[in-house]
A and B are shown apart, each in its own frame.
Chain A
């Protein structure tokens, strides 16, 4: 007749449990298919990368443009920080993309890194031309409430008018054959003097990619 002491039984179970625990903690779990979600730097090429406009293009193009704008004598030598308004970027490529993301990033870079070297107006000048500038309409209403003394406000000031208008254009040339596809995108941006309509600055960036055109851009 077998006689098992409680200590012996407990010890065996403890050893077994600990061993299992150690083995299981050393085992990595993997998804059945695909990869685990991970965070990428915007300058990195993602696994789903194709030949269209992607985050790394946005980052490199806007960085180049923002630095280039500051080299313009009208900006670099200005006694007071010039005021810039954004005008919608024209997208002449075959890709569906919100082209305004380019000027948005240029504006954000200049506003955050240059500490008052240039200033931007929130007026939507394109909408204003159509009489549909919501921001100006709201602010004018606020201004009139301040003027009437209904709400408090600082000293009376005029709405800031723009000295320059920043706009751009995206154009592309694409080819496709049985061996693959290529895509060339030309990014041009310009700064227009709001008084004279003279283009005081223009710069461009061009990116060509080739590969299998298998990515779907959303």
Chain B
């Protein structure tokens, strides 16, 4: 009887060691990050950061132009798809020709949309180096 217990305990001990070894050997730092070379933010001028916004806000028109001193001015329209007041936040990320952020992302602006209302949102980059942009829309944080 005692020998059976001994065998069980030893098996359990070995199993635990194997388990720890397996977990321990599964990954070691550093790790390779996940990445997508075809980012949605690179391909689209306006993105929604929350799924619920798909049913709340429509973006009808988006455009950009250069100011006289060469800075990038972006514009978009936000339309409330609901019959109720909606609060969203909007931000512009200004990017260089390689789609890297210039580090001059705008602050998040609060936009209040009343029922079925359409509002314009504009923003201008600080520097003339901005060649691309992404307008992000999110629910209030």
Contacts and interface: CB of A to CB of B under 8 A. Distances in A.
Interface of A: 3, 5, 7-8, 11-12, 14-15, 18-19, 41, 43-45, 56, 59-60, 62-64, 66-67, 70-71, 76-77, 109-110, 113-115, 207
Given A3-B2, A67-B124, A76-B68, 15 more contacts: A7-B10, A8-B9, A11-B9, A12-B9, A14-B13, A18-B16, A19-B16, A56-B108, A59-B107, A60-B108, A67-B123, A70-B124, A76-B67, A110-B126, A113-B103
Interface of B: 2, 6, 9-10, 12-13, 16, 20, 67-69, 71, 89, 103-104, 106-110, 123-124, 126-127, 140-141
A120 to B, nearest CB: 15
B126 A70 contact: yes
B127 A115 contact: yes
A43 B140 CA distance: 10
Contact of B12 (A15, A44, A70): A15
B141 A45 contact: yes
Contacts of B109: 60, 64
29 contacts: A8-B6, A11-B9, A11-B13, A12-B9, A14-B13, A15-B9, A15-B16, A18-B20, A41-B141, A43-B107, A43-B108, A43-B141, A59-B108, A60-B110, A67-B106, A67-B123, A67-B126, A70-B69, A70-B124, A71-B67, A76-B67, A76-B68, A77-B69, A113-B103, A113-B104, A113-B127, A114-B126, A115-B127, A207-B110
Q: Is the interface of A mostly helix, strand, loop or mixed?
A: helix
A50 B22 CA distance: 50
Given A11-B9, A70-B71, A76-B68, A63 B106 contact: yes
Nearest to B12: A15
Contacts of B12: 15
A183 B110 CA distance: 16
Contacts of A7: 10
B11 to A, nearest CB: 10
